[in-house]
A and B are shown apart, each in its own frame.
Chain A
Amino acid sequence: MTTEELEQLLAQQPIALLHRLARGRVQRHFRAGKRRLIEVLLRHSAENRAGFESDLMTLIGEKHARPAPPPPQAPAIRKQKSSAPQRRTTHRPVEPESHEPAITLSSWLEGLGIPPSKAFVPDAWQEEAIAKLREGDVVVSVPTGSGKTYVAVEAARRAIAENRTVIYTSPLKALSNTKYTEFSKIFGAEQVGILTGDRRDNGQAPLLIMTTEILRNLLYDAGGGEIDVRLDTLGLVILDESQYIADPERGVVWEETIIFCPSQARMLLLSASIGNPHDIAEWITSIRPTPCHLVRHSTRTVPLRAGYLHPNGKLTPLFRTVGIPHGHPSYLHPEAKRLFLQYEDETLPSHSRR
């Protein structure tokens, strides 16, 4: 194929196909118009022309093949196809589908509502985290919205009762402000202080809220000989959202804070669900005087259900089961699958728009 031919062929394709072709090849291709996109694609194709052309052909083939699904008695073709490297978009994990009948919308929506109000009873993992904090450091890794704040509040309450200072850090200033208001309501305004880069409100309070960077700087100053906040009476350091330790730019601040945290203070790390919380616990155990206990808990307090809402307003469950089928991403609800394929058909090759 000459370059002119290729250019013509590209020009004939719908823009959506060009975008799919540009995926992984061209940066920020969403921004480009059709002419510009073709230009960039052509320039890019010079690098690996054969691969580019074959991808284009696969995509064009897909476009024509999709409206008419292949007849079931075509094993020969399928075999051939599977031996050739396929494009990412067509690659779906082959997994046996559940044979139980898919649930209906009404049973999916069932149970929706407000629970009867009852006295708050802490979960077992919350109790465990607070109890273990007496013996050493604690890492908590639980799903978002499980009630990490309760652990933080209870732990802070106990430390304050023992006349120890508590430092609570969050990654964002906005979150610090929210917690400041929240904790002021719980503990009383005179018990809570907030430190920012240029301001300190009630800096002598037993519970201090700051961003992790500010705490790191305090620890630097303590290391350099200038004692700032009463680090010797520090009893507990709570690092909220500590999955930020993996943040490409700021993660190092969390590491430094944990490395330089005074040894008499307990550490409480609160984190969203992450894949390797035991690594963090093991690491902290290896560098701090007391062993670090991991509290892990993966079921959500309020169960979650996933749904699919079609642009025409039709709602269906996303999965065949009522809850989330953990470990089985292909257990899609047949209705959701059908509607989504229909959506892709209508938005990708765009027959209607031509």
Chain B
Amino acid sequence: MPPSIHPVDLILALRDKHLTPAIVFLTSRRACDEAMQAFDHSRILLPPPRQQAIADVLDKVIAQYPSIAEHPLIPTVQRIGVAAHHAGHLPSWKIAVEELMRHGCLDAVFATTTLAAGVDFPARTVIITQSSIRKSRDFMDLTIGEVQQIAGRAGRRGKDLVGFAIVTPSPYIDLNVLTKGFTGHPEAINSQFLISYPMVLNLLKAHPLDQIQPILAKSFAQFQLNQRAEVLERKLDDLRDQMEPFGPRVCTDWITEWQTFDQVRRQKSHRAPVRKHEPPEVAARFHFLTPGRVVGFGRSRGVVLRQYRSKGQKSPMITALRLGGGITESPASTVTEVSDRVLDCVDAPVYPWCTPESVEELLHHLEELPGRLPELPILIPKDDEPIPDAIVQTLGDFACPTCPSRSACQRDYPLAAKLRQEQHRHVKSIQALRTSLWHRFQEKIDVLQQFGYLTPTAHLTEDGEWARLIRIDHSLLITELLRADAFSGADPAMLAAVMSSIAHDDDRPGAFPRVSSGLASLLGQVRKLAASLSPHEDPPLLRADIAAVTERWIGDPGLTWIGLCKSTTMAEGDIYRLLARTLEFLSQLHTLKATHPGLTDTASRAIAALRRGVLEELP
């Protein structure tokens, strides 16, 4: 049996049950294109009046957007009534397909799941062929919200009494993901508050530094952090109640007193502790790696079962239960992510450090967890606190041996110490939750001060005044390029080419035109600068082959769109998006008229040269 249904059979089955029009969501663009090819020699033609209806609608769209007149898919669309709609197509083609769907001319559209949100047309039926989706170069299971978003396209208001979402399997499909998606509640959404350099500059332009913290406090991010802090505060209240019986005794801080006494008594201090240098972030994190904490190890995930220090080197270690059932002993530095989630776990004194039932339960919970978890904000102390010189204490320094409450202290110490430790941890967490946004903002201020966009009092410098107008990705790289006068001798084509290599973030390989030597050397400089900025801003891909596409388009005004497409294996839609993004970046440079007249002039010439043919069809 074939691993998945043949597109022709699919359309026949749908027509047979009157389930058309349908949107068929496929894994990749290639799958969509192959599905269209499958109809090349098929004989399941539409009746002539319907073919005519399609031709009429297409004629109208073509009159508005002439670029699609020669589109290779048009014959298949007209004969069979099926079309493909994905990011590799020109926006005008997608408009044509949407228009055809709106008129009810088509039987099916093959689309990619990646753009489910961008598919803005309903149908009677939605066909789902997969349970995972490609996200930033990796496959992830669909979330409940995404399944419902996809299924939501089924059933047109006013045109259908019911809508149908039909699953048809393909290799690696997980039916559980889909049934859960259909029947479940959509996930809660979490704020993703990225603080960018332009944001810092623009906020500081409009508000003095002391008003920034209240503004950040208005964000949804802080709202959600506060919610988490409140949960911890309630726990802290509980702990305070539990600590009630362990209040001051003969000495006020009897817990610390007993702890040091106990240590001295066991003569622990005789052996000088091995002090290894630990990175501050590992030290700060280790504090939170308590039993039950969900942590990430690179791509996999686990639950901490216990934390300890290794025998010889005293390095921070954890025992963790990994996804899949393995129990590993790993250094705390291998933990890449400390999540906000703590699972219940019943401690046990021996391996595996908790009861077998709870291992199974933990594993079950771990599998059920959503793909993305809120991370625990952890404050990393700037400079290591100086270690106090060890005061050599002897048993004679303590009053404990003769103290009246000695037996009570001895009895209560283990529980009280544990509770107090937990209290400290919660207090630290709450502090981190309340201030983490502000700390992240301050980090950005530090960088901007270091580069001279902000004065030491956090006012905008002359450079900061214009740099705040660059509000795109990789803004630091672009402003630094401008300050280094990198584009002084560049012609419009070179400027646009560099901008497009900064804007492009896809690493899809392919064949591209050759890059000119002038552009290559300019890109070399840009790369060097980007590498030097990498501690403060992720460097863009800066692909020379991508830059060459833009360079050709602007450098040669006689070049037609078809000619440009033929010079590379890049899909039409990708070239369009590349040039549109470049246009966006160039128009940002255009706002610097007052301070960089030469550059704005080059940018406007580049914009004028870029905006022609297909690029002029849509606003």
Query: A251 contacts the other chain (Cβ, under 8 Å)?
Result: yes
Q: Is the pair B145, A307 in contact by a Cβ cutoff of 8 Å?
A: no
Residue A287 at the chain B interface, CB threshold 8 Å: yes
Query: Is B349 an interface position by the 8 A CB rule?
Result: no
Identify 26 residue pairs between A and B in the complex whose beta-carbon atoms are under 8 Å apart, listed by A's number.
A16-B171, A30-B172, A109-B17, A114-B159, A114-B161, A115-B161, A144-B152, A145-B163, A174-B118, A178-B98, A194-B619, A199-B619, A243-B189, A246-B189, A255-B191, A258-B220, A286-B218, A300-B163, A301-B155, A302-B154, A309-B167, A310-B168, A311-B1, A313-B9, A329-B183, A330-B179
How far is it, in angstroms, between the C-alpha of A309 and the C-alpha of B7 when the chains are bound?
12
Stretch in A35-43, A60-68, A155-163, A270-278 with 4+ CB within 8 Å of B: A270-278
Interface string of B88-129 (1 = CB under 8 A from A): 000100110010000000000000000001101010100100
List 11 additional contacts besides A115-B160, A308-B166; criterion CB under 8 Å.
A89-B174, A112-B161, A252-B199, A255-B191, A255-B220, A274-B187, A286-B218, A302-B157, A305-B164, A311-B1, A347-B3
Assess whether B367 is in contact with A91, with CB atoms less than 8 Å apart.
Answer: yes
**Cβ 8 A contact of B156, one of A246, A255, A302, A311:** A302
**B158/A249 in contact, CB under 8 A:** no
A81 to B179 Cα, complex, angstroms = 25
Question: Are the CB atoms of A145 and B138 closer together than 8 Å?
Answer: no
| Among A4-12, A217-225, A229-237, the stretch in contact with B | A217-225
Bitwise, B599-611 to A at CB < 8 A (1) or not (0) is 0000000010000
Judge if B587 is at the interface, Cβ distance under 8 Å: yes
| Shortest distance from the beta carbon of B213 to any chain A beta carbon, whole Å | 13
Verify if A117 is at the interface (C-beta below 8 Å from B). yes
Shortest distance from the beta carbon of A121 to any chain B beta carbon, whole Å: 11
Within 8 A of A (CB), among B316-345: 322-326, 328
Question: Shortest CB–CB separation between residue A35 and chain B, in angstroms?
Answer: 19
Give the complex CA separation of A217 and B356 in angstroms.
Answer: 56
A27-B299 contact, Cβ under 8 Å, with A252-B192, A304-B154, A306-B165: yes
**Contact flag A256-B322 (CB < 8 Å), given A114-B161, A274-B189, A347-B171:** no
- Chain B proximity mask over A129-147: 1 for CB below 8 Å, otherwise 0: 0000000000000011111
Contact A144–B325 (Cβ < 8 Å) = no
Is there a chain B Cβ closer than 8 Å to A227's Cβ?
no
**B162 and A302: CB pair below 8 A?**
yes
- Out of B5, B165, B191, B224, name the residue touching A313 (CB < 8 Å): B5
Query: Beyond A24-B324, A177-B91, is A117–B163 a contact (Cβ under 8 Å)?
Result: no
Does B171 lie within 8 Å of A85, measured CB to CB? no
Please, which residue of chain A has its CB at the minimum distance from the CB of B6? A311
Shortest distance between the CB of B559 and any CB in chain A (Å) = 21
With A87-B324, A92-B176, A328-B183 given, is the CB distance from A224 to B205 under 8 Å? Answer: yes
Give the complex CA separation of A147 and B166 in angstroms: 23
State the Cβ distance, B337 to closest chain A Cβ, in Å: 14
* CB-defined contacts of A114 to chain B, threshold 8 Å: 159-161
Q: Please encode chain B, from 169 to 196, with 1 for each CB lying within 8 Å of some chain A CB and 0 for all others.
A: 1011011100110111111111111111
Q: Known: A145-B153, A220-B202, A246-B191. Contact between A311 and B3, CB under 8 A?
A: yes
- Interface presence of B82 (CB below 8 A): no
Check if A117 sits within 8 Å of B359, measured CB to CB.
Answer: no
**Within 8 Å CB of A241, what residues of B?**
117
A24 and B300: CB pair below 8 A? yes
- Give complex CA distance A174, B83 in Å: 18
Contact of A83 among B157, B328, B360, B367 (CB under 8 A): B360
CB neighbours (8 Å) of B486 from chain A are: none
Residue of A88, A272, A305 touching B165 (CB-CB under 8 A) = A305
* Complex Cα gap A352–B1 (Å): 9
The answer to whether B218 touches A259 (Cβ under 8 A) is: yes
CB neighbours of B172 from chain A (8 A): 19, 30
CB of A54 closer than 8 Å to a CB of B = yes
Chain B, Cβ-Cβ closest to A211: B584
Query: Judging by beta carbons under 8 Å apart, are A175 and B192 in contact?
Result: no
Interface: B525 (CB within 8 A): no
A324 at the binding interface (Cβ < 8 Å): yes
The answer, yes or no, to whether B586 is at the interface (CB within 8 Å) is yes
Partner of B163, one of A171, A259, A304: A304
Check: A100 CB closer than 8 A to any chain B CB: no
- Give the docked Cα–Cα distance between A54 and B205 (Å): 60
| Chain B residues whose CB sits within 8 angstroms of the CB of A302 once the complex forms | 154-157, 160-163
A251 near B193: Cβ-Cβ < 8 Å: yes
Tell which of B159, B165, B199 touches A304, judged by Cβ atoms closer than 8 Å. Answer: B165
CB distance from B227 to the nearest CB of A (A): 8
B436 adjacent to chain A (CB < 8 Å): no
Does B583 reach chain A (CB closer than 8 Å)? yes
Query: Residue of A at shortest CB range from B116?
Result: A144
| CA A312 to CA B169, docked complex, whole Å | 11
Q: Could you tell me the distance in whole angstroms from the C-beta of A69 to the nearest C-beta in chain B?
A: 18
Cα–Cα, bound, A324→B162 (Å) = 12
User: B18 interface residue, CB < 8 Å from A?
Assistant: yes
CB-defined contacts of A332 to chain B, threshold 8 Å: 179
Instruction: Find the A residue at minimum CB distance from B218.
Output: A287
Residue ID in chain A nearest B356 by CB atoms: A83
Q: Which residues of A contact B207 (CB under 8 A)?
A: 223
Contacting pair B224 A279 (CB below 8 A): yes
Q: Are B360 and A306 in contact (CB under 8 A)?
A: no
* Chain B proximity of A95: nearest CB distance (Å): 11
Question: Residue A186 at the B interface, CB < 8 A?
Answer: no
> Taking CB as reference atom, which chain B residue is nearest A110?
B162
Chain B residues contacting A27 (CB-CB under 8 Å) are 138, 299
Partner of B183, one of A175, A178, A258, A326: A326
> Is A168 positioned at the interface, with any CB of B under 8 Å from its CB?
no
